Amino acid sequence: MSKDFTWSTGSEIAAAVAAGETTALAVTEAALAVIAARNPTLNAFTAVTAERARAKAKAVDASPDKTKLPLAGVPFAVKNLFDIEGLATVAGSKINRAHAPAKRDAELIERMEKAGAVLVGALNMGEYAYDFTGENVHDGPSRNPHDITRMTGGSSGGSGGAVGGGLVPIALGSDTNGSIRVPSSLCGIFGLKPTYGRLTRARSFPFVGSLDHLGPFARSVRDLSVSYDVMQGYDADDAGCADRPKESASPFLTRGLDGLRVAVAGGYFRKGASPEALSALDGVAKALNARAVEIPEAHRARAAAYVITATEGAALHLERLRKQANDFDPAVRDRLIAGAMVPSTLVVKAQIFRRWYRDQVLALFKDCDVILAPSTPVTAPKLGQQTFMLDGVEMPVRPNMGLYTQPISFIGLPVVAVPVALKPLPIGLQIIAAPWREEVALRVAFALEQMGAVSAPRPNL
Amino acid sequence: MPSPPLDDFIATAAATLDLPLDPAWQASIKANLEVTLRHAATVAEFPLPDEAEPAPVFRA
């Protein structure tokens, strides 16, 4: 291989493979070597599917027309709640290790591989995705590639670490309350949480059915867009998947900002934000000439998301709590047991509020196309750190990293998380669009990337 | 919303739901339930008309 592709984007790799400048097998071997070298430090991978990857890479190399494969030879990995044929889907837990091996890959893995991508393994995550830290009591913490004494954010911690650390150019994760956007922020990479119902969740382990989304992480907006495009399409095997036609975003990326109206969220989304978060937000808002907008009752939306998460999550795990309570991460167990005890009237109230709030926020999009907000209140906390100061108040880290992400996923809005390469640690912003308008958020992200306002910084590893 | 007598509630709810309740977990479960109920109260106190309907996920 004549070139080091380990910090290349997926699009660059696919172009090089299609042009015959390298092979899918050579790229795969290079990725496996980087994983072997860096994973002992970053703890991003919980399984490496080397033989499967080599076989898939050889099949890509044997394809008669690789220009028809938009992800030809691009290594990728998935949060370990995605089914991978032959492996138990552990979802960050000890309990699920006793599950039978999956008989078939998750639908999104199949769609990525159909486009030429090469699965190289499964990634660390917080237990059952009830987490914003990336720490895991069973597998050890995912470590931040920009400072290995710090958190990746969670729950898709391994996804953040693997992409931010150059182990793979693209990873897949899940986002119930912020689990794509929080690690994207702390690890300095791009992430896409599509509209609720856009990407199928078939053959992935759930957490909160009415809030769960799947989506990609990458180091470039084009990679997010290309992987998102190949994963779209209705799937009857996911009850929440919307029956909509595929709406490719990639053709819109280069259309620029002309005609787009950008707003920046104030009030709740500034309260508690660190100087770093505000500096990143204000810099990008200025570059986009954004006007201030107030998202009404965002604190109540966050509260309602919290209640629905605790109770739906508890319902999912009720039998496991009854029979295997000692096998849970104690922090997850105690949150879930508490969730099981919340009166149902209060849950219905949260769902009623959800409808009202959705209508209020959708009305804002009559006057703007995207809304900017911070992804996290702070840059990456230290591993094991229990509390941080937000607006002069000491708050627990684990539930509060998602302060700014929860009110958005609560109503399923599409968000592109973009990294601002602050020193010494990056921090992310959310570019929020109206439902089914992923292409608008991606277009703004691409313009910011072209301007140099957002980028994935390369760590010293 | 006044703070309910949570220790009794937790013991009764655990028994009713057939959930294990190790005394060592009590304080943590109580702390989590307090936070969740506080969030629930924040939502429930917001006045909405009787006609407001929940956001369903199920689609027939």
Answer whether A306 sits within 8 Å of B39, measured CB to CB: yes
DSSP characters over A292-323: EE--TTHHHHHHHHHHHHHHHHHHHHHHHHHH
Answer whether B48 sits within 8 Å of A356, measured CB to CB: yes
CA distance A350 to A186: 30
Cβ-based contacts of B58 with chain A (< 8 Å): 239
Cβ-based contacts of A300 with chain B (< 8 Å): 42-43, 46
With CA atoms as reference, the chain B residue closest to A351 would be B54
CB neighbourhood size of B7 (10 A): 12
Q: How far is A399 from chain B (nearest CA, A)?
A: 10
Asked whether residue A456 is assigned to any structural domain, the reply reads no
User: Of A306-320, A385-399, B20-34, where does mean pLDDT reach its minimum?
Assistant: A385-399
Answer whether A337 sits within 8 Å of B54, measured CB to CB: no
Asked whether residue A458 is assigned to any structural domain, the reply reads no
Asked whether residue A3 is assigned to any structural domain, the reply reads no
A326 DSSP assignment: G
What positions of A carry a catalytic annotation? Answer: 79, 155, 179
Asked whether residue A431 is assigned to any structural domain, the reply reads yes
Asked whether residue A277 is assigned to any structural domain, the reply reads yes
pLDDT of B3 strictly over 70: no
What are A's interface residues with B at a Cβ cutoff of 8 A?
209-210, 239-240, 297, 299-300, 302-304, 306-307, 310, 318, 321-322, 325, 330-331, 333-335, 337-342, 345-356, 358, 399, 411
Size of interface A-B (CB pairs under 8 A): 109
**What CATH number corresponds to the domain at position A130?**
3.90.1300.10
ipTM of predicted assembly, 2 dp:
0.93
At A24 the pLDDT is 98
A349 DSSP assignment: H
| Tally of domains in chain A | 1
Q: What does the H/E/C string look like for A77-124?
A: EEECCECCECCCCCCCCCHHHHCCCECCCCHHHHHHHHCCCEEEEEEC
How much of chain A exceeds pLDDT 90, in percent? 97
Asked whether residue A2 is assigned to any structural domain, the reply reads no
At A369 the pLDDT is 98
Asked whether residue A113 is assigned to any structural domain, the reply reads yes
Burial of A148 (0-12, 13-18, 19+ CB in 10 A): middle
Asked whether residue A66 is assigned to any structural domain, the reply reads yes
E strand map for A194-288: 213-218, 262-265
Q: What angle do CA A402, A442, A452 make, to 5 degrees?
A: 90
A84-104 tens-digit pLDDT: 999 999 999 999 999 999 999
CA distance A362 to A437: 12
> Which structural domain, as residue segments, surrounds residue A241?
10-451
Amino acid at A105: D
Q: What is the pTM of this model?
A: 0.97
Cβ-based contacts of B10 with chain A (< 8 Å): 341
Q: Does B6 touch chain A (CB under 8 A)?
A: no
A101-153 tens-digit pLDDT: 999 999 999 999 999 999 999 999 999 999 999 999 999 999 999 999 999 99
Query: Which of A371, A154, A366, A354 is closest to A267 using CA atoms?
Result: A371
A60-75 tens-digit pLDDT: 999 999 999 999 999 9
Answer whether B32 sits within 8 Å of A334, measured CB to CB: yes
Strand partners, A214: A174
Query: Which of A376, A178, A197 is closest to A274 using CA atoms?
Result: A376
Query: Are the beta carbons of A119 and A109 closer than 8 angstroms?
Result: yes
**Which tokens belong to A446?**
């691409």
